[in-house]
């Protein structure tokens, strides 16, 4: 069943672990993440960027695919289908299509505009039982071709957004999307602590989960992070495994050219990455 992320995140916050958001790109991705979550009895959030939504033929297709898989694969763990870094228009489209969780990313707007647009979504999501993630302090790196520098969120602005009644808050703490550059100084735990102090109970979201050292992720979870987003790492492990299959000439043996065979090693690699991350996040057995 598709559920709002609210309950799973509140439980994670109280239990000092984090739920993983794994972004999906296609059928294989979705299937592998759902199967791993079920096998490990972990709650899970499927992230869909607007670009990936478009690639997968629109939000209705995504909702249909995910609901179909939950039914046909007998998935019993809680699954939230979540728009990742949505625009205001994208958020409305996903609400209409049946997503159970939305991120509205107004971090690139002046705070007044971010407050205004986030406010407009709070009520709708509340009425429909959809969880809502807001963002303060743009998270750097490149996603869907849009790049920005890493920022640290202002705790006072975080409080203003949190007080609107959103479900969870993504706040920049020196994290960036994609691979971390050489010499990256690490997460700003001082900023995270200040944000946590000002926003209180609000579950915090750590974006850019790829490549953050394990001890830093665990420390962030101890300081109030209840959701960690991972995208690039699954892409890297998937592609490396498929590359090996081709380089080993397996596609040239027998019916090795069958796409189900070509993609199989990539699928196993995604499952392994998701498993490793879930171990670090501490969410195994929590569903
Ligand atoms: P990575 O691609 O760095 O894992 O970040 C994912 C993310 O934060 C999605 O919002």
Which CATH number covers residue 106? 3.20.20.70
Q: Is 196 in the pocket of ligand 1 (CB under 6 A)?
A: no
Q: Which of 50, 187, 209 to mutate to test the pocket of ligand 1 (most atoms within 8 A of CB)?
A: 209
- Count of structural domains within the chain: 1
Q: Which of 143, 179, 225 to mutate to test the pocket of ligand 1 (most atoms within 8 A of CB)?
A: 143
Q: Does residue 58 sit within a domain?
A: yes
What is residue 180's predicted lDDT score, i.e. its pLDDT? 86
Cα separation values, 32 from 110, 136, 149, 211, 237, Å: 39, 31, 32, 21, 13
In which domain, by residue range, is 51 found? 6-231
What is residue 144's predicted lDDT score, i.e. its pLDDT? 53
* 252: CB partners within 8 A, 6+ apart: none
Interatomic CA distance for residues 62 and 76, integer angstroms: 19
Place of tokens 């790109």: 25
Q: Does residue 257 sit within a domain?
A: no
pTM over 0.85: yes
The closest-lying atom of ligand 1 relative to the alpha carbon of residue 84 is: 10
Cα angle 80-83-85, degrees, rounded to a multiple of 5: 135
Q: Does residue 274 sit within a domain?
A: no
Query: How far does the centroid of ligand 1 lie from the alpha carbon of residue 148, in Å?
Result: 13
What is residue 184's predicted lDDT score, i.e. its pLDDT? 85
Query: How far does the centroid of ligand 1 lie from the alpha carbon of residue 208, in Å?
Result: 4
Q: Does residue 240 sit within a domain?
A: no
Q: Does residue 67 sit within a domain?
A: yes
Q: Does residue 246 sit within a domain?
A: no
Cα separation values, 138 from 10, 21, 150, 152, 217, Å: 24, 18, 6, 8, 19
DSSP H helices, the chain, are: 6-15, 27-40, 50-55, 59-72, 88-97, 111-128, 155-162, 189-199, 214-222, 232-247, 259-281
What is residue 148's predicted lDDT score, i.e. its pLDDT? 53
- The residues carrying an active-site annotation are 84
Q: Does residue 258 sit within a domain?
A: no
Interatomic CA distance for residues 192 and 168, integer angstroms: 14
What is residue 181's predicted lDDT score, i.e. its pLDDT? 84
Query: How far does the centroid of ligand 1 lie from the alpha carbon of residue 257, in Å?
Result: 31
Q: Is 133 in the pocket of ligand 1 (CB under 6 A)?
A: no
Residues of the chain with pLDDT under 50: none
Handedness of CA 154, 160, 162, 166 (dihedral sign): negative
Query: How far does the centroid of ligand 1 lie from the alpha carbon of residue 176, in Å?
Result: 8
């Amino acid at each position: 069943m598709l559920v709002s992320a609210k309950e799973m995140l509140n439980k994670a916050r109280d239990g000092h672990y984090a739920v993983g958001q794994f972004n999906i790109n296609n059928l294989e991705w979705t299937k592998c993440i759902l199967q791993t979550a079920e096998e490990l009895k972990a709650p899970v959030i499927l992230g869909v960027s607007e670009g990936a939504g478009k690639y997968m033929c629109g939000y209705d297709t995504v909702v249909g695919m995910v609901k179909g898989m939950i039914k046909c694969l007998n998935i019993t763990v809680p699954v939230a289908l979540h728009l990742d870094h949505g625009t205001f228009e994208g958020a409305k489209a996903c609400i209409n299509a049946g997503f159970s969780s939305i991120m509205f990313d107004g971090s690139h707007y002046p705070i007044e505009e971010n407050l205004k647009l986030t406010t407009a979504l709070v009520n709708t999501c509340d009425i429909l039982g959809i969880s809502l993630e807001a963002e303060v302090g743009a998270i750097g790196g490149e996603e869907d071709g849009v790049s920005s520098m890493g920022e640290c969120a202002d705790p006072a602005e975080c409080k203003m957004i949190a007080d609107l009644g959103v479900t969870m808050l993504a706040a920049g703490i020196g994290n960036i999307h994609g691979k971390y550059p050489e010499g990256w100084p690490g997460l700003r735990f001082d900023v995270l602590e200040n944000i946590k102090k000002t926003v209180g109970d609000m579950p915090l979201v750590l974006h850019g989960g790829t490549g953050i050292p394990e001890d830093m992720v665990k420390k962030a979870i101890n300081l109030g992070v209840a959701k960690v987003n991972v995208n690039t790492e699954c892409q890297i492990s998937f592609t490396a495994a498929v590359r090996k299959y081709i380089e080993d000439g397996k596609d040239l043996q027998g019916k090795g050219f069958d796409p189900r065979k070509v993609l199989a090693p990539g699928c196993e690699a995604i499952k392994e990455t998701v498993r490793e991350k879930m171990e670090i996040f501490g969410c195994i057995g929590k569903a």
